[in-house]
Amino acid sequence: MSWDAIIRPDLAGLEPYRPGLRASEVRERTGRERVIKLSSNESPYGPFPSAVAAIASIAPRLNRYPDGSSRALRRKLASGLGISAEEVVVGAGSNELLRLIAQAVLTPGDEVVYAWPSFVVYPMVCGTFGVTAVPVPLKDGVHDVDAMLAAVGKRTKLMFLCNPNNPTGTIYGREAFAKVLAGVPEHVLVVVDEAYFEFVTSAEYPNGMEAFDGERPLVVARTFSKIYGLAGARVGYAAVPKPLAAAVDAIREPFNVSSLAQAAAHYSIDDEAEVRRRRASNQEQKAYLYSSFDRLGIRYLPSEANFVWVVTERPVEAFEALLAEGVIVRGFGAADALRVTVPSAEDAPAVAAAFEAVVGRLGSL
Ligand SMILES: Cc1ncc(COP(=O)(O)O)c(C=O)c1O
């Protein structure tokens, strides 16, 4: 029998998402006790204490389904964002929301514009829904909004903007964002992906929510996976105009966000002091990485996120050499770069020492 007659033929070329190596795999491969995982832009610290307590309190009641509408969390997020609860959607990570929003708007023949390199899920979404991906190269590591606007045509339905951009950590500024909003036609939904929003310190950064009015076709997506340390719980949210939120609600899984994730997110929001501490720690350790890289002659792009794009002429060798030193970073195929998540204060000296050893071995990066 042939599966060709059963599986959608247009899925044939699609690759599954490849997560970074897990620490346990590398421990096995290298025999090293201490392995530092800097490949998935996770928080090096655990969930907030209030989230851990909330999860513990929910655990005995896991025989019950969660609130399918994430009502309490939606209300809480809405009041923080200054919008109505009907304009908030909650998903199993913002990843699920990016897909659901795409599913709600895309039909075959549509085009999706996004910068490249950027978050790998954007091309994956295009593949899933059989639409045409229109990647627009970054210019000097930053979204080239003029080129992105020029790439918009009659068939464009969606534009992803990733700010800060994964994997480069760069941001586009207020002026660029205003230009996109003014220049994009009404039939294009702009999805601003702000997964790393809470790490940003630049005054030039345009908070996507400032442009959200519930009318124009604009979505702002954020997550609890990064600064809140809840990547394993799978919970993210988006501000979405009401008609689109209703469409997403109609197509999502009935119980898409677990009760553990809803509670963990709900109680994390209250601890603003912890968010500030983690942002400050990220800044400190990022500065430490920069100074180590400067000392070693390693080139990188200044980042507004919790990761740094390190430029290297030998990404494969450098990746393997760092692995041998017990540090897992992220490679990007043919790109002459590696992405390094900012480590904890405890791990940072070992990470700097690993880079030093690799530069010593390879001559340069
Ligand atoms: C730019 C960007 N958007 C969205 C996500 C999705 O995060 P999650 O699904 O864990 O909320 C990530 C995760 O790495 C990301 O880098």
Nearest to 263 by CA among 92, 55, 46: 55
**Most informative mutation of 193, 257, 304 for ligand 1 (most atoms within 8 A of CB):** 193
Q: Cα of 295 to ligand 1 centre, how many Å?
A: 31
pLDDT digits (tens, 9 = 90+) for 176-229: 999 999 999 999 999 999 999 999 999 999 999 999 999 999 999 999 999 999
Architecture of the domain delimited by 19-46+273-362:
Alpha-Beta Complex (3.90)
Cα gap 271→228, rounded to integer Å: 10
What is the CB neighbour count within 10 angstroms for residue 9?
Answer: 9
Q: Is 231 in the pocket of ligand 1 (CB under 6 A)?
A: yes
Domain 49-270 CATH assignment equals 3.30.413.10? no
Residue 297, pLDDT score: 97
Pocket perturbation via mutation, ligand 1, pick of 160, 168, 172, 226 by most ligand atoms within 8 A of CB: 226
- pLDDT less than 50: residues of the chain: none
Q: Decide: helix, strand or coil at residue 193.
A: strand
- Helix axes 259-269 and 71-81, enclosed angle (nearest 10): 30
- SS3 of 124-151: HHHHHCCCEEEEEECECCECCHHHHHHH
Q: How far away, in angstroms, is 357 Cα from ligand 1 center?
A: 31
Q: Which of 39, 95, 224 for a ligand 1 pocket mutation test, highest count of atoms within 8 Å of Cβ?
A: 95
Measuring CA to CA, how many Å separate 118 from each of 171, 220, 262?
Answer: 12, 16, 28
Strand partners, 220: 192, 239
Using most ligand atoms within 8 A of CB, pick from 17, 39, 94 the residue to mutate for ligand 1: 94
User: What is the 238 CA–ligand 1 centroid distance (Å)?
Assistant: 12
226-256 pLDDT, tens digit per residue, is: 999 999 999 999 999 999 999 999 999 999 9
Closest C-alpha to ligand 1, atom 12: 195
DSSP string, 44-100: SS---HHHHHHHHHHGGGTTSPP-TT-HHHHHHHHHHHTS-GGGEEEESSHHHHHHH
C-beta of 168 in contact with ligand 1 (< 6 A): no
Please work out whether the CB of residue 166 comes within 6 Å of at least one atom of ligand 1.
Answer: yes
Q: Supply the pLDDT for residue 333.
A: 79
pLDDT for the residue 19: 80
Tell how strand 156-162 and strand 111-116 pair up: parallel
The full set of domain ranges for the chain reads 19-46+273-362, 49-270
Say what the pLDDT of residue 10 is. Answer: 87
Q: What is the Å distance from ligand 1's center to 223 Cα? A: 7
Judged by DSSP in three states, 221 sits in: strand
Centroid of ligand 1 to alpha carbon of 31 (angstroms): 31
